[in-house]
Amino acid sequence: MDWVERTAQLRQWTRSGTRAPHKPLLFLYALSRFQRDADDELLYSAVERDLQGLLAEYGPGNRSTPAYPFHHLVSDGVWEVRTERGPGSPGTGVRELRASGAAGRLTPELRAALRREPSLLGRMARVLLDLNFPPSLHSELCEAVGLGLEEAETGPLSAARRRRDRRMREVVLTAYEYRCAFCGYDGRIGAVPVGLEAAHVRWWAFGGPDDVENGLCLCSLHHKLFDKGVLGLGEGRGEDPGEGLGGNLGDGRGDSHRILVSRNFVGRSAAAREHVIVLAGRPVIGPQPGVRAVAAAHRSWHTSQVFHGSPRPAAAV
């Protein structure tokens, strides 16, 4: 049995690129608990708050319940649930899971395989991360679930899956003339840019292409906040049929995207206001003339699947 392949083929509800990270998040959490105690069981009532927090932070903006993956992960052959009455899950009802003393853990076969081959855990975790989340969140997510992995284990897959285009970073940074599309940061050490990254708007894990129309040059801070759903892209005011043809999108031609800042973001310090809150409603700094800006389809995907809550009104100047 190829456990890595089984991990890559988790059955998840999907429609038009909709994110449903419920099972991957529970699976990562279960792997971390196995790493700490191979015989530990996860009592639903005891871990519900942890799992709800993970879904709220790393899932899409809509409300969801950890009861769903707790029950349905059983069908993938990696997870088992038992209650005070014996083996078997009582279903997806939160009250039933709590009242029945439902507890889950990795299947005996998987636990045995992980004991025989300790490196298997890291390979499975890497698949879950790579196929469901952007690289900017991998280390943070491991820390959030309590999973201890070597840095090499959270790198990209070496298997013959769809590979990232290594040229995308240079193409996107060049298109945006080596400055953050949100704040204009353009730092360098000598001739080498520092703190600038190529962000996928539609995540690579969800079919986002490695091209300029799906990319933004962002500083490290704004890339992280963009992938966490704190920041997003909105339509410009008075967009015309030529929208997306590049140039400085804040030059008043009517084709600009605007920066969204989530109302869920809270920051009282001067730094939080200066680096995040004041961005609300600002025009995005677009790519150089002749380069297409972010495609509407990718922008819409990010808004529905990553951006959290509703946007703040434009910041007062």
- Reported as a single tens digit per residue, the pLDDT across 110-169 is 999 999 999 999 999 999 999 899 999 998 899 899 898 764 454 444 443 455 666 889
pLDDT at position 11 over 50: yes
At residue 237, the 3 state secondary structure works out as: coil
> Quick one: DSSP state of residue 283?
B
Residue 135 and residue 313: Cα distance in Å, rounded?
Answer: 30
- Reported as a single tens digit per residue, the pLDDT across 205-231 is 888 999 999 999 999 999 999 999 999
- Reported as a single tens digit per residue, the pLDDT across 33-72 is 999 999 889 999 999 999 999 998 888 867 778 999 999 9
Note the pLDDT of residue 18. Answer: 78
Residue 243 and residue 239: Cα distance in Å, rounded?
Answer: 6
pLDDT at position 183 over 60: yes
- Reported as a single tens digit per residue, the pLDDT across 295-309 is 999 999 999 999 998
pLDDT at position 254 over 90: no
Give all strands (DSSP E) within 220-310, no chain letters: 231-234, 258-261
- Reported as a single tens digit per residue, the pLDDT across 19-39 is 888 999 999 999 999 999 998
Note the pLDDT of residue 238. Answer: 44
> Quick one: DSSP state of residue 66?
T
By percentage, how much of the chain surpasses pLDDT 70?
85
**pLDDT band at residue 89, thresholds of 50, 70 and 90?**
very high
Task: Answer yes or no: are the C-beta atoms of 258 and 234 closer than 8 Å.
Answer: yes
Q: Which residues, other chains included, contact 174 with Cβ-Cβ below 8 Å and sequence gap of 6+?
A: none
Q: Are strands 103-106 and 42-43 parallel, antiparallel or unpaired?
A: antiparallel
Residue 144 and residue 53: Cα distance in Å, rounded?
Answer: 10
pLDDT at position 1 over 70: no
At residue 273, the 3 state secondary structure works out as: helix
- Which amino acid, 197? E
Residue 83 and residue 89: Cα distance in Å, rounded?
Answer: 7
Note the pLDDT of residue 243. Answer: 37
pLDDT at position 282 over 70: yes
